[in-house]
Structure 1
Amino acid sequence: MSEPLQRLLRIHDLSVSLPGPRGTRLQALRHVDLTLDRGESLALIGESGSGKTLTALTLMGLLPPGAHVDGDVTLSGQSLLALDEDAWGHWRGRRVAMVFQEPLTALNPLQRILAQVMEPILLHRLAPDRATARAHALAQLARVGLDATHARAYPHELSGGQRQRALIAMALAAEPELLIADEPTTALDAVLRLQILDLLQSLVTERGMALLLISHDLALTARRVQRLAVMYGGRLMEQGRAADVLAHPRHPYTQALWAARPRLGAGRDQPLQVLPGGVPSLSQIGPGCPFHPRCPLAQARCAQEAPPWTGHLACWEVAP
């Protein structure tokens, strides 16, 4: 019998506002509630501009200047919102680490890959000397499928998939409890995307850490995580076990994302379904449900009042 999972991350009623024009405040995240257990994987899904990356930056203490945060975020019982910059220096990389979206930008172009993977090991004093740190870094690179030749290379000498693997090795070097992967398969072909997602899930299983995977691709991501949370306009729309959400998507936005997926074997005369309109800017979001201008079920109250979050769903027109 497997051991029960232990709660690692708790996000409660998280709201983030950013400075707007002429002294205004723009609400970027609204009352977000998420939990994540050790050994568990959760995908945060939504179109660009939905608030996914801002949620991740909140967890990393990397919000832009002028951001104001309300709510509570705890990792292993420690309130992350109470940490000062010195304390964050001990938490980033060691307790929570992030695989950023663009590896060629995230990696230092002037340093070899090995030196970059060694950096968090040395920074957090996880090895008694450089020789031990080097051996540990090479072991991390080997775990993600890279060898000594890749370790000696500069980022521009690697392929896109190899750079992504190097960035994962760097994020894992200090053995964090929580790994955040922000669009880790961007610009990769279909085979490499699957390989990277499978690698991340296998690392979660092996190490017992937690994975927060950020993606706009519901079809690709959902079958490789345990739970899904769908976000739009800075709010959660739907959340549940990945298999349940895929089998029976309930929120109109989740249904639209699922309907827009490419289908294997579909003929050229079968175009993809398109969700009309676009994600609103922060200044366009009113007091109601942010999805209502694009929603086929929208009624008058949807524009006036945001539906309550039940823990699984936020929609006036779908029964909880």
Structure 2
Amino acid sequence: MSATATGRAAAPPLLEVRDLQVWLPGRGGARLHALRGLDLTVERGERLALIGESGSGKTLTALAIMGLLPEGAEVRGHVALDGRALLTLDEDGWCGLRGRRVAMVFQEPLTALNPLQRVVAQVMEPIRLHGLAPDRDAARARAMALLDRVGLDERQASAYPHELSGGQRQRALIAMALAAAPDLLIADEPTTALDARLRVQVLDLLRELVAERGMGLLLISHDLALTARRVDRIAILYGGRVMEQGAASALLDHPRHPYTQALWAARPRLGGGRDQTLHPLRGNVPALAQLGDGCPFSSRCPLATARCAVDPPSFDGRLACWEVAS
């Protein structure tokens, strides 16, 4: 039976990433293979968390989706928004897309915000740039409504970024990203510089905004324990590859990949007290120049065999591991 047998073809995912590969320039003309065949999808109204340690390739994935890779980077694969291929866009095409269809909350708001402009002016900018308000007064009204929604008042909206706290700056950056009503929001470590209480508040705010607006959310984090209960699905990234992916509840209840198990075991337990035994994940994510052809986690994996070091396991949509059956 054809895809249109029932009268309508299946709609594509909001975001579709297939076999995404990125090479970065290295010393002496070397080409460093940073992303190695990523497959991801995000539907409208869905929250996907991309989890991994620093150096796993999380931010690079976001920059590739946004068309913001550093100079000299080479990218291959397929990235599409609502079925529209993105990697072939020219700069004019990207400028029409960024902010309007896909927006990003960057990792450090103090450097992402313009120190010379008041917060409300920065939220107004994408509204006016994309012609979403007839005049300056309407743009300001729309910006103030957004700032109010993320918990900032008139005084804070009229402040400069350095006059706000870390949590307030993060909220301002979220309002700025939402100003043009994007279909997809990418939040890159939005809680890194915040204390535990503010981290929960920001993540809960993002969850509420996704539900209200029906947009998709790609949430990038290194904190599996904090993020997992606030998303629908999780993708575990290591060494530029997806190690495991699935529904958040199922993945946490039964983590299968040794890396996922190690991340989950390393978290502090609520109520465990100061004397609780922690299980740190020993070693470090290998540098790009140190990555071989096999599974990138093989040097730290308790199940690794000789095959793991030379033969990369294929990702079947759920798992990439030779020693654990999907």
Q: TM-score of the superposition, structure 2-length normalised?
A: 0.96
Aligned partner (choices 34, 37, 51) of residue 31 of structure 1 = 37
Looking at structure 2, the residues matched to 111 and 269 of structure 1 have their Cα atoms a distance apart, in angstroms, of 48
Name the structure 2 match of 1:260: 266
Using the aligned pairs only, state the percent identity.
73
Name the structure 1 match of 2:5: none
1:89 Cα offset (Å) = 0.7
Evaluate the alpha carbon distance shift between residue 5 and residue 161 of structure 1 in structure 2; reply closer, same or farther with a 3 A threshold: farther
Q: Pairwise mapping of residues 179-194 of structure 1 onto structure 2 (< 5 A)?
A: 179-194=185-200
1:271 Cα offset (Å) = 3.3
Name the structure 1 match of 2:149: 143
Q: Deviations over 1:195-230 (max 9, x none)?
A: 100100111111000000000000000000000000
Name the structure 1 match of 2:90: 84
8 Å CA contact 1:13–1:30 kept in 2: the answer is: yes
Aligned partner (choices 220, 231, 235) of residue 214 of structure 1 = 220
Name the structure 1 match of 2:68: 62
Aligned partner (choices 174, 184, 188) of residue 180 of structure 2 = 174
1:238 aligns with 2:249: no
1:135 Cα offset (Å) = 0.2
8 Å CA contact 2:12–2:82 kept in 1: the answer is: no
Q: Deviations over 1:58-117 (max 9, x none)?
A: 111100011111110000111110111111111010000000000001001110000000
Name the structure 2 match of 1:100: 106
8 Å CA contact 2:13–2:83 kept in 1: the answer is: no
Question: What secondary structure, in the 3-state scheme, does the structure 1 residue paired with 2:151 have?
Answer: coil
Q: Pairwise mapping of residues 296-307 of structure 1 onto structure 2 (< 5 A)?
A: 296-307=302-313
Identify the range of structure 1 (237-246 vs 182-191) with the bigger mean alpha-carbon deviation.
182-191
Q: Pairwise mapping of residues 101-120 of structure 1 onto structure 2 (< 5 A)?
A: 101-120=107-126
Name the structure 2 match of 1:43: 49
Looking at structure 2, the residues matched to 316 and 6 of structure 1 have their Cα atoms a distance apart, in angstroms, of 31
Unpaired segments ≥5 residues, structure 2: 1-9
Q: TM-score of the superposition, structure 1-length normalised?
A: 0.98
8 Å CA contact 2:50–2:58 kept in 1: the answer is: yes
8 Å CA contact 2:50–2:236 kept in 1: the answer is: yes
8 Å CA contact 1:177–1:210 kept in 2: the answer is: yes
8 Å CA contact 1:237–1:313 kept in 2: the answer is: yes
Name the structure 2 match of 1:121: 127
Question: What secondary structure, in the 3-state scheme, does the structure 2 residue paired with 1:15 have?
Answer: strand
Name the structure 2 match of 1:314: 320
Looking at structure 1, the residues matched to 272 and 100 of structure 2 have their Cα atoms a distance apart, in angstroms, of 45
Q: Please give the root-mean-square deviation of Cα atoms over the aligned residues, in Å.
A: 1.1
8 Å CA contact 1:6–1:38 kept in 2: the answer is: no
Question: What secondary structure, in the 3-state scheme, does the structure 2 residue paired with 1:297 have?
Answer: coil
Question: What secondary structure, in the 3-state scheme, does the structure 2 residue paired with 1:81 have?
Answer: coil
Q: Pairwise mapping of residues 282-293 of structure 1 onto structure 2 (< 5 A)?
A: 282-293=288-299
8 Å CA contact 1:5–1:39 kept in 2: the answer is: no
1:264 Cα offset (Å) = 1.1
Looking at structure 2, the residues matched to 134 and 223 of structure 1 have their Cα atoms a distance apart, in angstroms, of 35
Unpaired segments ≥5 residues, structure 1: none
Identify the range of structure 1 (217-226 vs 77-86) with the bigger mean alpha-carbon deviation.
77-86
Evaluate the alpha carbon distance shift between residue 150 and residue 6 of structure 1 in structure 2; reply closer, same or farther with a 3 A threshold: farther
8 Å CA contact 2:107–2:188 kept in 1: the answer is: yes
8 Å CA contact 1:302–1:316 kept in 2: the answer is: yes
Q: Deviations over 1:120-163 (max 9, x none)?
A: 00111111100000000000001101111111100011111100
